[in-house]
A and B are shown apart, each in its own frame.
Chain A
Amino acid sequence: MNAARVLALLLSAAGVVVLVLVLKPPPEPEFVELQSSSQCLECHPNVAAEWRDSWHARAYVDPEVRRLSNDFANEECIACHAPRPVLHFQAGERVLARFAERDLGVDCLTCHQLPDGSVATSSPDPPAAPCRPRHSPRLADVSLCASCHDQHGTVRQWAAAPPELKGEGCLDCHAEPVPRPAGRMGRAHHFPGGHDPDMLRRAVELRAESEAGGRVRVELENVGAGHNFPTDERSRAADLQWRERGSDGTWSAWRHLHRFRDPYRDETDLTNTQLPAGETWRGTVTPEEAGAEVEVRLLYRTNPFQPDEEATEVHRVSVAPGG
């Protein structure tokens, strides 16, 4: 074998080694099966900060939930306020309660942990990471939210809503797109809902105008909720109230006009008065003084006994004196 052939062989071998090194996929980081959502914070501080600001984070520790659930002595509430990972269940199945770290409420693992311990992401081409992210279309599907949020019919109400009044899924309204690292678009993790005044204002439109006979016609239209208003828990209530300004310039006390609410099952004398998507409730008020200035407001209560001063005023409209 002459030197030239030896050199050629050596070069070929070196080429093979270089080719192998170039084509070999980078080693996947050692898999760390997440046991707690607190492990997610290190790599995802921004998402964690958004989540911490959400009602998902407060699902188990919020004082009002504690009161309404009798401090979770009503154990049926725990399944959705401290659930096991939803993706461990089939699509549409209800979730079951977890035992550890319930105070984290609806946490990262609740929505993101897959049955094999890896982590679901909506990104079609997720990067390698110790938590082993995998693309899962279920993450953006309504069935994921339905596991809990259909217990009181919200997802069924959304499905029955007129197409032009709803997005493609829950995330369209409840998780706005936000830029994430590496130029990827993700979804914000605040999940605004009934506790968000702006969300409430966008959901319904309040109108009032005078009509014949000194009466004032009042209308509330569900223009943007995409499901009933109010929805989800039976404790949620929305009340229309009105008042009039007397000829001496003083306002009367607020008077009850109508309540929108799905009653508890043992409230046998009440019926469901939630306002479905696209529908309009109509009523009239008759001021004691004909032609008096009238104000109508809509209050949203997170529980039916919440005092007026603690409720959220969603809208207020005035009808000028004399129409």
Chain B
Amino acid sequence: MALLLLLALAGCGAPDEPEPDAPPAPPLRDVVAARLAETAADALPEPSAEEVAEVRDLLELLGVGGRAGQMARRELAGRDDRRLAAATLAVLEEHGTPVELRRAAHALLATRPLPAALPRLTLRLKYEKDYPANVDLARALLRLGSGAGLEALRGILLAADDAAPDAAAARAAAARALTELPPREGWEPGADFATDWQRLLEVREHWLVERELPGAPTASVEDAGAVAETWRTVARLASGPLRPVDDARFVLARLPADLALPVLLEAVYERNLYVREHVLQVLSWLGPTVGRWATRRGRDVVAELVPLLGEPRSRARALEALGAIGLPEAAPALLRWLRDGGRDEATAAADALLRCADRTAAEEALRRAAERSLTPAARWSLDLLAADVGLTRAGPEPPTDLDPAEVRRREEWRAERALRPRSD
């Protein structure tokens, strides 16, 4: 017996160490499934193959002109907006749809803008290469309160690529489209191209920073159809193959803030890891736009995101998003992971602090960083932060053991500190 006891004791290891003081797990739930079910009736209908073929034929007839064209126009005018938009989008999304048909489809959607079409139209910006089609696409988006197509208009007007099909006509159409920009006092649309161009640059700049059109209504959560299609876009983030994920991220990063951000801030609590991951990623891409929008709308976006730091598999992405948003009040929640996190988390925390910390948080970050070994990337982020808030000399030297692209990425983040919603 004594022998057995001794043998048993000999095989035992050390007692388990106490659990570290981990933050509580966030309340994850099946957000996307619930929202898809609730909004199903507002989403665009799924057109039948016959419906798509009919719309395709009618669009072809529009190009023929004459009596056939007039007949097709009348037929299309009599169709239900939602069913027509769904079938027209299906024609556009079909692989290999000829360019003439795509032009006709975009022109039709520009004349009958439907909020529910906004996310799928936004995706066309990624794949549509034809100049004239892009002009009508940008016009449709403008009418739906989105400036996502302004970059395409600017590109067409600047392009010296006369080899592109119908480039000159597209430039003329793009110039005309500028008259549809949101109005501003003192600007007379169409009076001369120079002031129209100036207005394009103003509106584009505002769109890029705020994801809204100045002085014009933008799509928002009030548009039930747009919201339903935005949730459908979010659902694609769960895909195994990356292409649908990439498409969804492209769209979500280009929707108006009042439409996308309420949806994204709810979707971060989705149970599916991939949805959480990519929603946080999109929030990071939008960065200070999220912080400024939250400030305008009176939302405490930091408090909304901090609980996600309690989810180990999403922690690094949540750290990234909290930093990218640029609100200095996020810094206290980030500091802990600089010292206690694994390498991934500590690097994400240092990067995030570079993007949001004020001088006080920077001092604390440097103190905590001294207590452990950090990756070269994390060290470089903290060096840049210290320089930016005046704790060290202005021009730190990048670590020689850090990849040049990683050096540049962090220098860009330092430059973006000027865009933060609030200054130090």
In this assembly, does B405 line the interface, its C-beta being within 8 Å of a C-beta of chain A?
yes
In this assembly, does B403 line the interface, its C-beta being within 8 Å of a C-beta of chain A?
yes
Q: For chain A residues 17-32, which have a beta carbon within 8 Å of chain B?
A: 19-20, 23-25, 28
* Assembly CA distance A19 to B7 (angstroms): 9
- Taking a contact as CB atoms under 8 Å apart, the answer to whether A266 and B129 are in contact is yes
* Assembly CA distance A35 to B342 (angstroms): 7
Please give me the residue from chain A that is nearest to B239 by CB atom: A94
* Assembly CA distance A157 to B240 (angstroms): 17
In this assembly, does A308 line the interface, its C-beta being within 8 Å of a C-beta of chain B?
no
Interface-side segment among A71-79, A171-179, A250-258: A71-79
- Taking a contact as CB atoms under 8 Å apart, the answer to whether A72 and B3 are in contact is no
Chain B residues closer than 8 Å to A94, beta-carbon distance: 240-242, 274
- Do A265 and B127 contact each other (CB < 8 Å), given the known contacts A20-B7, A151-B241? yes
In this assembly, does B351 line the interface, its C-beta being within 8 Å of a C-beta of chain A?
yes
- Do A16 and B6 contact each other (CB < 8 Å), given the known contacts A25-B11, A99-B344, A103-B406? yes
* Assembly CA distance A21 to B274 (angstroms): 51
Please give me the residue from chain A that is nearest to B97 by CB atom: A268
Please give me the residue from chain A that is nearest to B401 by CB atom: A103
Query: Shortest Cβ distance from B411 into chain A, in angstroms?
Result: 13
* Assembly CA distance A172 to B406 (angstroms): 36
- Do A76 and B405 contact each other (CB < 8 Å), given the known contacts A24-B11, A28-B13, A100-B347? no
- Taking a contact as CB atoms under 8 Å apart, the answer to whether B242 and A35 are in contact is no
Select A102's contact among B313, B378, B403, beta carbons within 8 Å: B403
- Taking a contact as CB atoms under 8 Å apart, the answer to whether B343 and A269 are in contact is no
- Taking a contact as CB atoms under 8 Å apart, the answer to whether B343 and A36 are in contact is yes
The 8 A CB mask of B341-374 against A (1 = contact, 0 = none) is: 0111111100100000000000000000000000
- Taking a contact as CB atoms under 8 Å apart, the answer to whether B240 and A93 are in contact is yes
Query: Shortest Cβ distance from B338 into chain A, in angstroms?
Result: 12
In this assembly, does A227 line the interface, its C-beta being within 8 Å of a C-beta of chain B?
no
Chain A residues closer than 8 Å to B6, beta-carbon distance: 16, 20
Chain B residues closer than 8 Å to A245, beta-carbon distance: none
Select B375's contact among A93, A100, A151, beta carbons within 8 Å: A100
The 8 A CB mask of A256-280 against B (1 = contact, 0 = none) is: 0000000001101100000000000
- Taking a contact as CB atoms under 8 Å apart, the answer to whether B403 and A61 are in contact is yes
Query: Shortest Cβ distance from A131 into chain B, in angstroms?
Result: 15
- Taking a contact as CB atoms under 8 Å apart, the answer to whether B281 and A75 are in contact is yes
* Assembly CA distance A16 to B13 (angstroms): 21
Please give me the residue from chain A that is nearest to B374 by CB atom: A100
In this assembly, does A84 line the interface, its C-beta being within 8 Å of a C-beta of chain B?
yes
- Taking a contact as CB atoms under 8 Å apart, the answer to whether A99 and B241 are in contact is no
- Taking a contact as CB atoms under 8 Å apart, the answer to whether A102 and B13 are in contact is no
Chain B residues closer than 8 Å to A101, beta-carbon distance: 343, 347, 375, 377
- Taking a contact as CB atoms under 8 Å apart, the answer to whether A100 and B403 are in contact is no
In this assembly, does B245 line the interface, its C-beta being within 8 Å of a C-beta of chain A?
yes
Please give me the residue from chain A that is nearest to B352 by CB atom: A99
Chain B residues closer than 8 Å to A76, beta-carbon distance: 242, 245-246, 249
Query: Shortest Cβ distance from A78 into chain B, in angstroms?
Result: 10
The 8 A CB mask of B1-43 against A (1 = contact, 0 = none) is: 0110011001101000000000000000000000000000000
Q: For chain A residues 27-59, which have a beta carbon within 8 Å of chain B?
A: 28, 35-36
Query: Shortest Cβ distance from B216 into chain A, in angstroms?
Result: 30
The 8 A CB mask of B78-112 against A (1 = contact, 0 = none) is: 00000000000000000111000000000000000
In this assembly, does A242 line the interface, its C-beta being within 8 Å of a C-beta of chain B?
no
Q: For chain A residues 125-168, which have a beta carbon within 8 Å of chain B?
A: 151
* Assembly CA distance A84 to B273 (angstroms): 14
Query: Shortest Cβ distance from A144 into chain B, in angstroms?
Result: 15
Query: Shortest Cβ distance from A67 into chain B, in angstroms?
Result: 12
The 8 A CB mask of A78-114 against B (1 = contact, 0 = none) is: 0100001000100011101011111100000000000
In this assembly, does B383 line the interface, its C-beta being within 8 Å of a C-beta of chain A?
no
- Taking a contact as CB atoms under 8 Å apart, the answer to whether B343 and A35 are in contact is yes
- Taking a contact as CB atoms under 8 Å apart, the answer to whether B96 and A99 are in contact is no
Chain B residues closer than 8 Å to A300, beta-carbon distance: none
- Do A100 and B240 contact each other (CB < 8 Å), given the known contacts A20-B7, A24-B10, A75-B281? no
Query: Shortest Cβ distance from A128 into chain B, in angstroms?
Result: 12
- Taking a contact as CB atoms under 8 Å apart, the answer to whether A72 and B405 are in contact is yes
- Taking a contact as CB atoms under 8 Å apart, the answer to whether B348 and A99 are in contact is yes
* Assembly CA distance A268 to B95 (angstroms): 6
Chain B residues closer than 8 Å to A23, beta-carbon distance: 7, 10
In this assembly, does B229 line the interface, its C-beta being within 8 Å of a C-beta of chain A?
no
In this assembly, does A66 line the interface, its C-beta being within 8 Å of a C-beta of chain B?
yes
* Assembly CA distance A197 to B129 (angstroms): 36
The 8 A CB mask of B49-67 against A (1 = contact, 0 = none) is: 0000000000000000000
Query: Shortest Cβ distance from B22 into chain A, in angstroms?
Result: 15
In this assembly, does A229 line the interface, its C-beta being within 8 Å of a C-beta of chain B?
no
Chain B residues closer than 8 Å to A71, beta-carbon distance: 405
In this assembly, does A60 line the interface, its C-beta being within 8 Å of a C-beta of chain B?
yes
Select A103's contact among B13, B129, B277, B403, beta carbons within 8 Å: B403
Select A151's contact among B126, B242, B345, B351, beta carbons within 8 Å: B242
B contact residues vs A (CB 8 Å cutoff): 2-3, 6-7, 10-11, 13, 95-97, 126-127, 129, 240-243, 245-246, 249, 273-274, 277, 281, 313, 316, 320, 342-348, 351, 375, 377-378, 402-403, 405-406
Using A60-B403, A99-B344 as known contacts, list a sample of 7 further A-B pairs with CB atoms less than 8 Å apart, ordered by residue number in A: A16-B2, A25-B10, A76-B242, A79-B242, A88-B313, A99-B316, A102-B377
Pick 18 A–B contacts, CB within 8 A, sort by A: A19-B3, A25-B11, A76-B249, A94-B240, A94-B241, A96-B274, A99-B320, A99-B348, A100-B348, A100-B377, A101-B377, A103-B402, A103-B403, A151-B241, A265-B243, A266-B127, A268-B95, A269-B96
A contact residues vs B (CB 8 Å cutoff): 16, 19-20, 23-25, 28, 35-36, 60-61, 66, 71-72, 75-76, 79, 84, 88, 92-94, 96, 98-103, 151, 265-266, 268-269
